[in-house]
Chain A
């Protein structure tokens, strides 16, 4: 303790030191504090490994945490999917964590449905609001519970699946707008495996891409971009060549050595033309398959294909020859080919090239790792933890039908896929949902779907939760572990936690099916708990070392020529002269990124636009319509009408208009709302979730908004001035 005398002494000494200590040190350096003194250390920061949830690619991340706050997200260098790399969306997940508009507590609807008016309630009240009707229908009609989520992988999927099963409801639907349905069925047809393959780009010498936007928004953009970089530059003497076919000069197309534009929805025909040349000129490795296909392919000579696709016959022949002579090579079909109405045909035709080249199971080719193996111990339940990455469109549509019929009394909504925004409006998601008496949303943000709920239960973001994950591609059998890298920022509970608690309260079957105290306990039980393997795994970001053996059952012999389903685009070409090409936005993905300012302000790689959507047309098309860059247009399709600003893309076919998805929100907060209109409203409701499904007409319109772009309309053409 300090007495008065001591205090005075110390005080005097301090005063002396202050007064005279400063005298002798004359600062002799120019700018002293830019180079801080040696002992001036920065605050200690910690890095925690976890998993990204900004898209379904399932990258591993590490998060820099300083003073209890997450500061920076980076790729986990140990993670096989992304090896330390991360995309813009992954980087921006930080803004979701600290978003000013996040739900910080449970909310009960206080206005009419869809109005977005909510009043905060306590968790006790919210849970009682949830449990009361839940108990009721458990007793009366358990199958009238609907669970509509985004894709759920890992133990979260297990919890949700077991909950629904034990509750007695088969109505669990997962909706993912970019689920590669067409690719899965094509792979089933061509390779005999209904799954996504690993493309060994890094070792490929030649890459044929058919509207494959694998560098920007495909199934695993970071994984593929990294592999692409290795294909280009990691080998001493070989540089993989990349040829791209597609209706639009996308970011991925721009990376290609050769971009050969084809008419929209004809990617598969180009592939057949290449196959024709390969078979005709005996350039195939798989001679048996070639023999079987020779007759069927006869109709697809390059000249015939040129008529249908607009790609020159000699280009097709040259591509075929180069592809065949530069093996190992790969042919990839992308989301925009797959989201044609007959996407399965395109994907099958492309898969045919891989079969003909005989690259399946070889380095530099494609292989099918065993997805189920990672969770083999769950036996038949393994599918809940590693579901096949389907869009669930059929299931969603069926669920909507049932909703209209009044089959559901409670609906659980969860996930970022926002069906009210991403489903064509002609499916009338909101109207169907209004037939469900009680809608519960597990959400972090108010969006178009959440705003239809009666009760909102706030969930933590991926950076605040426990969990595990298995990536769709590039995983090599690795299981990602998620852990809360920061204390939950708000009073939130994760959906599995709520389901576990609900199951406990329901008792009986559900309580038995979900026997854990919390979701964390579920994860710990599954992975050996604290102190064991799991602790090490958490530090590394998961169980990353396991190599899975490729699936043995890959059929390469019995292929047949895919049949093109003749599904023309909706709309009369005379009234609607342009084919509408919709593609996922690299920044906003399916629209979930639209509320993050960093992503809104990231210039689009092709149009360089920020904060607003646009419609891309060829300058020649624009000249015909009297349109200049930035002009407003009304875009009309048989199913809808929106407005947008014009951006030129000289690499888009003159009869195509392209729009990115992701903008056009109305209830997704101030950063997302009112930034253009949702192009999905132009789409008809089809059998499949086809984004390339309609034709449009453009009419010049005066808009009160302007399109902000970083590239100068004239200057962007003057690359010669720079290089």
Chain B
């Protein structure tokens, strides 16, 4: 693998042909392979199937799902948490890295931010999918109806809707603002309808000193603003559960626990997406093992954090033995044991030891193992949060188990396909690599020879923005 890694020398702006670099970074925009068409075709077909099944469910009734009394929520709601959780990679990481001037961040930014936007779009649709009367979803909108009926702001679902909307709008803005210099670059390099398209989107960015200054102020500002939003969003998603009286849900730890879990699964998601982008668009020279190593370290930290949170939650319930909660946790060792084992193994037992090893972190194919296992494990964790708590309600007489039918699976497969499709289209039409950020980094980076080794070193510039012109 090390052979693939470009020497630090190549990165130096002075030694890099700008045109070549643009071509290298914009391969996704410039070259369209049959694989792309195939991917879009398959994703589109699955999405269409999901849509048809969703319509079938809406026409016939929720009865076609596996839901029952008392398990009124299931795969849909778990998927909602899963997708919103995945969204926490991008914007949050990107913002933190931006604010902390992490030097390696640049190639990761755009892909992660895009992931946030699209996972949120998918996740944001699920609350509508899961409604018994989807066609009446506008009842939940605060619009001036003839009955002067305002939505119930005491309901966590309303907080949820607002939080997701805010986060989606914020993430889209963050993504868009960060993309403006690159869109300007694309405008300059393209012709025909593409030129018109990019001209409109780049808002007349010409790279003047003032524009760069404003751009930096704006992206820093957004980065600062988006962090509390990101934290609050998943806290609020957790409150959909934690605010309820349901045993197993009603817990103060849920908000931080959900945030940690979200970032955890989000980073794992970013690792997977980056690996795919790297392979698909031949970005080996930009997305280096260094990036995966750094993401791997983050992931390793989150594994520990997640494990700690889970342990503490378990400990209090175990010690307290509140019978109602204990029944829920007891079912982890009973009917829901396979799900529980999947979660523990995929979230901790596999990833933690692997991520401790540098060899794993630096190998793109190896790091995919813990990343994929974490995504699976976190899906299992969400299912485990939503289902057993309902399946083991306060009244033991009406206990019932839940297993999704082909309907839920189809609709959720459609949701996943929607994410893939959106991402592929985005990669086709927008700069998937933050070209200007990469350039900025290269500008500040020099290869220095220390002993027999060449390392990157950074000349930190005071008063950023002035440095460009």
Contacts and interface: CB of A to CB of B under 8 A. Distances in A.
Direct contact of A and B (CB under 8 A): yes
Interface of A: 26-28, 30-32, 710-712, 714-722
A710 B400 CA distance: 9
Nearest to A715: B396
A26 B395 CA distance: 45
Interface in B142-164: 146-149
Contacts of B400: 712
B396 A31 contact: no
* Binding site secondary structure of chain A: loop
Nearest to B323: A721
Contacts of B293: none
Contacts of B324: 721
A719 B394 CA distance: 11
B34 interface: no
Contacts of B394: 721-722
B398 A718 contact: no
Given A721-B323, A721-B324, A721-B327, A716 B147 contact: no
A532 to B, nearest CB: 55
A721 B396 contact: yes
A27 B398 contact: no
Q: List the 10 shortest-distance A-B pairs measured between CB atoms, nearest first.
A: A715-B396, A712-B399, A718-B396, A715-B399, A721-B396, A721-B323, A715-B397, A711-B397, A716-B397, A27-B147
14 contacts: A27-B147, A27-B148, A30-B147, A32-B147, A710-B398, A712-B399, A715-B395, A715-B397, A715-B398, A717-B396, A718-B327, A721-B395, A721-B396, A722-B396
A664 to B, nearest CB: 28
- Measured as residues with beta carbon below 8 angstroms from the partner, the interface class of chain B is 10 to 19
B393 to A, nearest CB: 9
Contacts of A719: 396
B148 A714 contact: no
A715 B400 CA distance: 9
Given A721-B324, A721-B327, A31 B397 contact: no
Contacts of B398: 710, 712, 715
B399 A31 contact: no
B146 A27 contact: yes
A343 to B, nearest CB: 36
A711 B323 CA distance: 19
Nearest to B326: A721
A26 B394 CA distance: 44
Given A714-B396, A716-B396, A31 B147 contact: yes
Interface centre among B146, B148, B327, B396 (most CB of A within 10 A): B396
Interface of B: 146-149, 323-324, 327, 392, 394-400
A23 to B, nearest CB: 13
Nearest to A716: B397
Contacts of B148: 26-28, 30
Interface centre among A31, A32, A714 (most CB of B within 10 A): A714
Contacts of A32: 147
Nearest to A719: B396
Contacts of B399: 712, 714-715
Nearest to A32: B147
Contacts of B392: 715
Nearest to B393: A715
A628 to B, nearest CB: 14
A36 to B, nearest CB: 15
B173 to A, nearest CB: 36
Nearest to B247: A721
A711 B400 CA distance: 9
A30 B323 CA distance: 40
Given A715-B396, A715-B397, A721-B394, A31 B323 contact: no
Given A712-B397, A714-B396, A716-B397, 15 more contacts: A28-B148, A30-B148, A31-B147, A32-B147, A711-B397, A712-B398, A712-B399, A715-B396, A715-B399, A718-B327, A718-B396, A721-B323, A721-B324, A721-B327, A722-B396
Interface centre among A26, A715, A716, A717 (most CB of B within 10 A): A715
Contacts of A31: 147, 149
B149 to A, nearest CB: 7
A719 B398 CA distance: 12
A323 B398 CA distance: 39
Contacts of B327: 718, 721
Contacts of A722: 394-397
Contacts of A27: 146-148
A715 B327 CA distance: 10
A30 B396 contact: no
Nearest to B330: A714
Contacts of B323: 720-721
A720 B146 CA distance: 49
A339 B146 CA distance: 68
Contacts of A721: 323-324, 327, 394-396
Nearest to B148: A27
Contacts of A26: 148
A720 B327 CA distance: 12
Nearest to A720: B323
Interface centre among A714, A717, A720, A721 (most CB of B within 10 A): A721
A28 B396 CA distance: 43
A650 to B, nearest CB: 15
Contacts of A715: 392, 395-399
A630 to B, nearest CB: 13
A22 to B, nearest CB: 10
Interface centre among B148, B149, B327, B397 (most CB of A within 10 A): B397
A715 B397 CA distance: 5
Contacts of B395: 715, 721-722
Nearest to B400: A712
Contacts of A30: 147-149
A718 B327 CA distance: 10
A26 B144 CA distance: 12
A31 B392 CA distance: 35
A714 B333 CA distance: 14
Contacts of A711: 397
Contacts of A28: 148
Nearest to B334: A714
A33 B149 CA distance: 13
Contacts of A717: 396
A714 B400 CA distance: 10
Contacts of A716: 396-397
Nearest to A28: B148
Nearest to B392: A715
B396 to A, nearest CB: 3
A92 B16 CA distance: 87
A468 B284 CA distance: 95
Nearest to A718: B396
Nearest to B145: A27
A28 B149 CA distance: 9
A32 B397 CA distance: 38
A718 B395 CA distance: 9
Nearest to A26: B148
A528 B399 CA distance: 59
A712 B393 CA distance: 11
A711 B395 CA distance: 10
A31 to B, nearest CB: 7
A722 B148 CA distance: 41
Nearest to B147: A27
B325 to A, nearest CB: 11
B248 to A, nearest CB: 14
Contacts of B396: 712, 714-719, 721-722
A30 B395 CA distance: 33
A717 B327 CA distance: 13
A254 to B, nearest CB: 15
A710 B399 CA distance: 9
Nearest to A33: B147
Nearest to B146: A27
A722 B398 CA distance: 12
B146 to A, nearest CB: 7
B211 to A, nearest CB: 51
Interface centre among B146, B147, B324, B400 (most CB of A within 10 A): B147
